[in-house]
Amino acid sequence: MAVVGISRDSPYSHIEWSRRLSLGYPLLSDWNAEAVRAFGVSQTMDGLADTPVRSVFVVDGEGVVRAAHRYGDGELPDVEQLLDEAAALNRAS
């Protein structure tokens, strides 16, 4: 199982966020909004196109999205639920 984070932020800001939060997984930059559009989570916010909706996707080893979750601005993902969904994929394979 691999965990990665993806955001529209620059790779340089990811270095700082990773350091500040002591993240144990890589952050990938979607600078050109390709992932935002591909995953269907693009929105226009405050006049900025392709701003992502806060989302989490659980993707299997074949690249198939097995679970998708969207969150409001103040909402945080249920990490235990996401880990359970990922673990279920590992058991199924």
Query: For the chain, how many structural domains are there in total?
Result: 1
Domain that holds residue 64: 5-92
Provide the 8-state DSSP code for 25: S
* pLDDT average, residue stretch 11-27: 91
The percent of residues above 90 in pLDDT, for the chain, comes to: 65
CATH number at residue 14: 3.40.30.10
CA-to-CA distance for 77 and 57, rounded, in angstroms?
A: 11
Judge whether 44 and 37 are in contact, CB under 8 Å.
Answer: no
pTM of the entire predicted model: 0.81
Question: Which residues lie closer than 8 Å to 65 by C-beta, 6 or more apart?
Answer: 39, 57, 58, 59
pLDDT band at 8 (very low <50, low <70, confident <90, very high): very high
How much is the pLDDT for 83?
87
The percent of residues above 70 in pLDDT, for the chain, comes to: 100
How much is the pLDDT for 90?
79
Mean pLDDT computed over every residue of the chain: 91
pLDDT in tens, 35-76: 999 999 999 999 999 999 999 999 988 889 999 999 998 898
